[in-house]
Structure 1
Amino acid sequence: MLSTVVDDFYDGGGSKDEQLHLIQLVEKWNGVSATDFTSEKVEIIFTALRNTVNELGEKAFKWQRRDITSHIVQIWVTLIKSMMIEGEWLEKKTIPTINEYNTNAYVSFALGPIVLRALYLVGHYLSEDAVRSSEYHNLFRLMSTCGRNLNDIQGFKKDKKTGKLNGVSLLMIHDPAVSTKEEAMRKLTACIDSSRSGLMELILKKNGSVVPRACKDLFWDMCRVVHLFYVSNDGYTSAQQMVGYVNYVLFIPLQLPEEM
């Protein structure tokens, strides 16, 4: 929910000065006081971020025996900056290259504050070396790439109406082998399949792996969630359908054939 609020803030909900100021405050983090806020919007969002991150830091200390707050703050800084880049592209009508878009888009999909922070709470020690490893980064990149491409496919019509570029439209612009949205979507689907396979390969890897298996499983679980979320449309605009899925998982008893 907090990621959505921040995304809306950088998607026209805040002024350019407010957006820059929020980044500066999150980068500063320690020592921010009431006199530092230039608007009520910035104060509300920063306060919510600070309370959420500090609460998580306290809970994670039980398992990690160290302060992981600075890492969670950096996750938010990276996410917010990626959101601002997308906002600037839209404002200036900039058409990024496919590589520029992909490098930024998997971060702005906003799974960092959801999955990466949860890794500290699954009951396994996650070392600094593991967090800085290429394995950790690639697990996050592949999971997020699946989500972003699924989002771009299902959100193409909506993004086109609002003037936003996404992976589908950029392929139609830049890729000489792509001339229709159907061709672009097929290419993104192939990328999703490749990313999902790469993710599973990393999860199953034992030799040389520094990320605990229980932590790696979270990346796969979220990959499954985003596939469900975008199975037929954009889950954000299909709240009733999402509630139905939740009810099936949590409340509606599983019905087995009588002979079983």
Structure 2
Amino acid sequence: MLLHILSRPWQRNQDLLALGVMDFSTSQIVCQQELQHLESWVKDSRLNQLPFARQKLAYFYLSAAGTMLPGELSDARILWAKNGALTTVVDDFFDVGGSKKELENLTTLVEMWDKHKEIQYYSKHVEIVFSAIYNSVNQLGAKASAVQGRNVTKHFVDIWQDLMRNMMTEVEWRETGYIPTPEEYMENAVVTFALGPIVLPALYFIGPKITEYTVRDTEYNKLFRLMSTCGRLLNDVQTYEREYIDGKINSVSLLVHHSGGSMTILEAREELQEPIDTCRRDLLRLVLKEDSVMPRLCKELFWKMCKTCYFFYYKGDAFSSPEEKVGAVDAVIHEPLQLPMNLLPGLDLS
């Protein structure tokens, strides 16, 4: 094919197009295989047996396949999709699926981790959720440790433990009727938006070595908080009505509440646009910064997740919709590339 391009300049555009079509088709086959593997994992982990859980595996895999393209990043895509599916299950368990005793039991199991056999499962649902988290984190942690040349599994566990603790804080607020300040809410909500288990472990799979010093640096924490704040606020603005019906607080309802009646829902949603834009700009500025502790490839992963949040929440709650982004999933993963008819004649795919 390359010889054709060099020897027949008049066919260069069509030959380059043919190469692009072939590359897309090859990538699509890889995507299909990876998604099939992930679907088998859902069944093997019994996550499909949880009646309360939204099944969002395809959406998370779409965001992984659309942002981490090279073939060698398969492990990163798999982790991104698995942990995305798991965080959705956990979020649904805390919101609607679990009793307080079940949630306390799950949190304790995650806190105990390798000593979890010392306590009993409160229910079958707790067993399924914890087993899926425990097995996946240990398997993915072992892979990441091999890539990094040091044990990073404990960091994976720490991320999940932080998520559970902060989710239990929201449960306590709900149980006691406590209404936090907007600042208290956001301090907790940047963690419970649950991007940590998706993005932070994936950093270990995309190439650069990440030292303990890098993870403890303020830049690492700032990247995470800017990404999560932007995503959390985008989500709150678009999901306010559903969460209000479910009795949940978010940044919109808190602004209205603490205004003493001087602010409407519409005004609160409009006011949140400024911090959303500010977080997005600050995140991009930090990603593009030259003198940096975090490798550029790693910083770009935070930016890619930020764009994923815009993809799902910019004009509504497309993530919760069972149909909204199905067309995008099909276009990237399932459907052959459709070319305009005027480009097809004479296209050499051999």
Q: Same fold (TM over 0.5)?
A: yes
Does 1:16 pair with 2:100?
yes
Structure 2 Cα separation of the partners of residues 166 and 51 of structure 1? 32
Structure 2 Cα separation of the partners of residues 152 and 115 of structure 1? 20
Structure 2 Cα separation of the partners of residues 38 and 184 of structure 1? 40
Structure 1 Cα separation of the partners of residues 328 and 189 of structure 2? 27
The one-letter code of the counterpart of 2:237 is I
Larger radius of gyration: 2
* Pairs within 5 Å for 1:1-260: 1-33=85-117, 36-175=120-259, 179-207=263-291, 209-250=292-333, 251=335, 253=337
Q: Does the aligned pair in 1 maintain the 2:101–2:122 contact within 8 Å?
A: no
The normalised TM-score by structure 2 is: 0.69
1:176 Cα offset (Å): 6.3
User: How many residues were matched structurally?
Assistant: 258
240-249 or 139-148, which moves further after superposition?
240-249
1:39 Cα offset (Å): 3.0
The one-letter code of the counterpart of 1:242 is K
The one-letter code of the counterpart of 1:235 is A
The one-letter code of the counterpart of 2:330 is N
198-207 or 84-93, which moves further after superposition?
84-93
- CA-atom RMSD in angstroms: 2.1
248-257 or 56-65, which moves further after superposition?
248-257
The one-letter code of the counterpart of 1:22 is L
* Structure with higher RCO (Cα < 8 A, 6+ apart): 2
Structure 2 Cα separation of the partners of residues 158 and 32 of structure 1? 35
The normalised TM-score by structure 1 is: 0.92
Q: Does the aligned pair in 1 maintain the 2:238–2:317 contact within 8 Å?
A: yes
The one-letter code of the counterpart of 1:115 is V
Structure 2 Cα separation of the partners of residues 245 and 226 of structure 1? 15
Structure 1 Cα separation of the partners of residues 147 and 215 of structure 2? 15
Aligned to 2:72: none
1:7 Cα offset (Å): 1.4
Q: Secondary structure at the match of 1:163?
A: coil
The one-letter code of the counterpart of 2:306 is C
Gaps of 5+ in 1: none
